[in-house]
Amino acid sequence: MIKKDPALTDAVYVKGVGEKRAKLLAKLGIHTAYDLAVYYPRGYIDFNNTVTVADAEQDEYCVVKARVVQKLSPYYGKISIFKAIVSDNTGDMLITFFNTAYSFQRLTVGEEYCFYGKIGGNFIRREMNSPIFVPAKSSHILMARYSLTQGLSHNIISSCVKNALEQFSFTEPLSENFLAEHRLAGFADSLRMIHFPKSKEEYDTAKRRLTFEELFLLQIGLKSMRNRRRTLTSAQMVQKDISAYYSSLPFELTGAQKRAISECCADMCGVSPMSRLLQGDVGSGKTAVAAGACYFAYLNGMQSTLMAPTEILAAQHYQTLKSFLEPLGVKIELLTGSMSAAEKKEIRGRIADGTVDIAVGTQALIQKSTRFSSLGLVITDEQHRFGVGQRAALSQKGKDPHTLFMSATPIPRTLGMMIYGDLDISILDEMPKGRLPVKTYGVDGSFHERLYRFILKYAQRGFQSYIVCPLVEEGISEKASAVHYIDMLKTTCLKNLPIGLLHGKMRQSEKDEVMRAFKNGEIAVLVSTTVIEVGVDVPNAVVMIIENAEQFGLSQLHQLRGRVGRGKEQSHCILVTDSKSEFTKARIDTMVRTTDGFEIANEDLKLRGPGDYFGNRQHGLPALKIADLYADLDILEETKNAAQKLLKDDPMLNDPDNSGIKAMTEKMFENSMRS
């Protein structure tokens, strides 16, 4: 066994890898021997769970146990084809291999094997192409399946992992006492059992150990980040009476909005800077909460700033804050990149000398030339649209100012506590009075003519509609395309209506111009990709049609649906899909059944798994390799308690017993800890 640290040893030195495979492994994020060892399977083939040839369903993956009755003569050409006929007591199945003579040669006539693959063929004869197979008498019960890239098969990765585990020694990061206290298996044993389980019990043991470790390190890292940010703020405020704000509004705030404002005000009176997430469903009134917090800062003689991801969203926030706060004497300015140099210079001058109480804008706010005289509160809208560095740059405009992050992206409460574990969270779980829930329907493509007439009926009454497509232009896919969709609409009853186009490949100025035209009523039907997922408030838009709805995640569908239902007219969302899968049906049924974003987010997590909720791209936090936050809630709670106990006893992780935990946490958070 090699004594070198596997985390410092390039994967190229693992037996069976070599330079060519090392380059392919790098595409999967595997660069070292350690990376190989912790490249956990995405699933397993259970060769014990077999079906008969007769019961094997078309287009489904399954394991069929059958005997080889005949090996046909190979065909050698550009593609070499090898075929064999296998049979059980219920029928025959044709097995085909392409360019893999080795696999074909492993089959022996008269022997029985378990074949795993996708069932093709027809009702007369089943077929399976390029199956994974093991002898029926093999001791293999669970075989790991990995996420792949072209040029790497499950067998190749499995072999490389096996060699890494045999060549290197993997140090145990947890102390013996910790392992015993939480009934955890050793690290090296768990690596072997997760990749090559000899039984379901071995898999369960390894999964629990590795999941526990991952969630525990995550909790330690998040709590350390929170503690690290408990600096002193120069913007400590004192309690002020903001009842004038409440009484000036033309509507009654919800209890959730008032509670969130109170939480923000209490935080801003603390000695440490507020770091709070305001999470609310689409239309729940986050801007009114932000305005209340800004008014509190104004009464304390402090400036506030609100940054939005697009100019049109920034302009919308500017108008809203103006209508709420200018009657109370608050001076508000808008700063965006499209303004002339002279305009920007003039506005920046007023921000710098303190004439401006609230600066609203886009990334123009974080440029070096933008300076504040007394910045006390920083608000970021749709904060996941900005990088960690951009958010930090805005906060650096003041001396440890208070920060409020706003997000309309529905995230399950448990997951939200993990993603934003270093933040306090305010949740707006009430909708403003008078809002009508959007009526949602699921239909197939045969309804298109009726849908177009439905849009026309509303257009004739002066209302507007959205049509959302998943792609921008035609390719080999049959999915709808926004560009070609408009051409098709010209052949329908909508041909005389003003139709607009919006997609991500347009310049921001072009997108803003289209949205302004739509907001002003100059466009009756807006055909768009998902760039309107987080967009402007157009109360006059009452119909949303989403083509190929199966291509979108549940939370994304909910975000899109939130573009309508913002006025007093009853709004409608129609999800169009020809998919017959049970997965799609379950998702569409969820959308039809509820308009609660948090319920939808929970269902999305259940159906789809954590996915990108934890991606570095959006949140700057580490991705999970093995934990499932929906399935592992019990372990999540256990690790939370374990992390609290450990940090209470050893806040800096200086105890030699905790050196492994400290090193693993730093590695896990190496990008996040640099902020």
Structural domain contains residue 667: no
Q: Are 96 and 129 in contact (CB under 8 A)?
A: yes
Who wins on pLDDT, 114 or 512? Answer: 114
Confidence at residue 386, expressed as pLDDT on a 0 to 100 scale = 46
- Which of these ranges, 97-101, 416-420, 598-602, has the smallest mean pLDDT? 416-420
Closest C-alpha among 381, 408, 383 to residue 280 = 408
In this structure, are 6 and 126 located in the same domain?
no
Q: What mean pLDDT do residues 394-403 have?
A: 76
Confidence at residue 222, expressed as pLDDT on a 0 to 100 scale = 78
Residue 147 main-chain phi, psi, to 5 deg: -70, 135
| Pairwise CA distance, residues 653 & 655, whole Å | 6
| Pairwise CA distance, residues 527 & 469, whole Å | 7
Pairing relationship of beta strands 132-135 and 92-98 according to DSSP bridges: unpaired
Mean pLDDT of the chain: 85
CA 637 from centroid of its chain's CA atoms: 22
Q: What mean pLDDT do residues 337-359 have?
A: 93
Pairing relationship of beta strands 112-121 and 61-71 according to DSSP bridges: antiparallel
End-to-end CA distance of the chain: 39
How many domains does the chain divide into? 4
Of 403, 428, 453, the domain-final residue: 428
pLDDT in tens, 1-33: 666 888 889 999 999 999 999 999 999 999 999
- Residue 381 DSSP SS3: strand
Pairing relationship of beta strands 303-307 and 332-335 according to DSSP bridges: unpaired
For the chain, helix, strand, coil in percent to 5 are 40, 20, 40
Confidence at residue 477, expressed as pLDDT on a 0 to 100 scale = 41
Confidence at residue 611, expressed as pLDDT on a 0 to 100 scale = 42
In the 8-state DSSP scheme, what is residue 7?
Answer: G
Pairing relationship of beta strands 424-428 and 275-280 according to DSSP bridges: parallel
Q: What is the 3-state secondary structure of 461-507?
A: CCCEEEEECCECCCCCCCCCEHHHHHHHHCCCCCCCCCEEEECCCCC
Structural domain contains residue 360: yes
Q: What mean pLDDT do residues 462-478 have?
A: 72
Confidence at residue 612, expressed as pLDDT on a 0 to 100 scale = 44
pLDDT of 223 over the 70 cut: yes
* Cβ burial, residue 504 (10 Å; 0-12/13-18/19+): exposed
Structural domain contains residue 210: no
In this structure, are 407 and 459 located in the same domain?
no
| Pairwise CA distance, residues 3 & 510, whole Å | 59
| Pairwise CA distance, residues 400 & 173, whole Å | 36
CA atoms within 13 A on the CB side of 247: 5
Of 573, 594, 615, the domain-final residue: 594
**Sign of torsion, CA 591 597 601 606?**
negative
Residue 287 main-chain phi, psi, to 5 deg: -65, -35
In this structure, are 329 and 372 located in the same domain?
yes
CATH of the domain at 14: 1.10.150.20
| Pairwise CA distance, residues 255 & 432, whole Å | 10
- Which of these ranges, 83-87, 264-268, 407-411, 417-421, has the smallest mean pLDDT? 417-421
In this structure, are 252 and 382 located in the same domain?
yes
Q: How far lies 331's CA from each of 318, 357, 541, in Å?
A: 11, 5, 31
Confidence at residue 3, expressed as pLDDT on a 0 to 100 scale = 67
| Pairwise CA distance, residues 444 & 187, whole Å | 50
Structural domain contains residue 297: yes
Structural domain contains residue 176: no
Q: Which residues contact 274 (CB under 8 A, 6 or more apart)?
A: 264, 267, 268, 377, 402, 403, 404, 424
Q: Are 487 and 446 in contact (CB under 8 A)?
A: no
Is the pTM above the cut of 0.75? Answer: no
Structural domain contains residue 642: no
Structural domain of 574: 439-594
In this structure, are 53 and 38 located in the same domain?
no
Q: How far lies 238's CA from each of 13, 38, 149, 201, 277, in Å?
A: 62, 50, 57, 58, 21
In this structure, are 306 and 398 located in the same domain?
yes
In this structure, are 67 and 13 located in the same domain?
no
Q: Which residues contact 617 (CB under 8 A, 6 or more apart)?
A: none
Q: What mean pLDDT do residues 485-498 have?
A: 91
Of 566, 594, 622, the domain-final residue: 594
pLDDT of 427 over the 80 cut: yes
- The dihedral region occupied by 556, where left means phi > 0, alpha psi between -120 and 50, and beta the remainder, is alpha
| Pairwise CA distance, residues 378 & 101, whole Å | 64
Structural domain contains residue 118: yes
Structural domain contains residue 207: no
pLDDT of 603 over the 80 cut: no
Helix axes 200-228, 659-668, angle to 10 degrees: 80
pLDDT of 241 over the 70 cut: yes
Q: How far lies 276's CA from each of 271, 346, 632, in Å?
A: 15, 32, 26
- The dihedral region occupied by 149, where left means phi > 0, alpha psi between -120 and 50, and beta the remainder, is beta
In this structure, are 411 and 294 located in the same domain?
yes
DSSP-assigned states of every residue in 90-139: S-EEEEEEES-HHHHHT--TT-EEEEEEEEEE-SS-EEEES-EEEETT-S
Confidence at residue 63, expressed as pLDDT on a 0 to 100 scale = 93
Torsion of CA 152, 155, 157, 163, to 10 degrees: -140
In this structure, are 474 and 393 located in the same domain?
no
- Residue 271 DSSP SS3: coil
pLDDT in tens, 541-599: 999 999 999 888 887 888 889 889 888 899 999 999 998 888 889 889 999 999 887 77
Q: Are 563 and 538 in contact (CB under 8 A)?
A: yes
CATH of the domain at 119: 2.40.50.140
In this structure, are 345 and 470 located in the same domain?
no
In this structure, are 589 and 485 located in the same domain?
yes
| Pairwise CA distance, residues 574 & 59, whole Å | 29
Torsion of CA 310, 313, 315, 316, to 10 degrees: 180
| Pairwise CA distance, residues 312 & 532, whole Å | 11
pLDDT of 615 over the 50 cut: no
pLDDT in tens, 429-448: 787 777 788 999 999 999 99
Closest C-alpha among 303, 185, 288 to residue 242 = 288
Tokens of 136: 């029926």
CATH of the domain at 355: 3.40.50.300
| Pairwise CA distance, residues 533 & 536, whole Å | 9
* Cβ burial, residue 315 (10 Å; 0-12/13-18/19+): buried
In this structure, are 131 and 276 located in the same domain?
no
Confidence at residue 617, expressed as pLDDT on a 0 to 100 scale = 38
Question: How many residues are listed for the chain in this entry?
Answer: 675
Q: Are 15 and 34 in contact (CB under 8 A)?
A: no
Closest C-alpha among 588, 125, 629 to residue 418 = 629
| Pairwise CA distance, residues 164 & 6, whole Å | 8
| Pairwise CA distance, residues 603 & 590, whole Å | 8
| Pairwise CA distance, residues 91 & 112, whole Å | 14
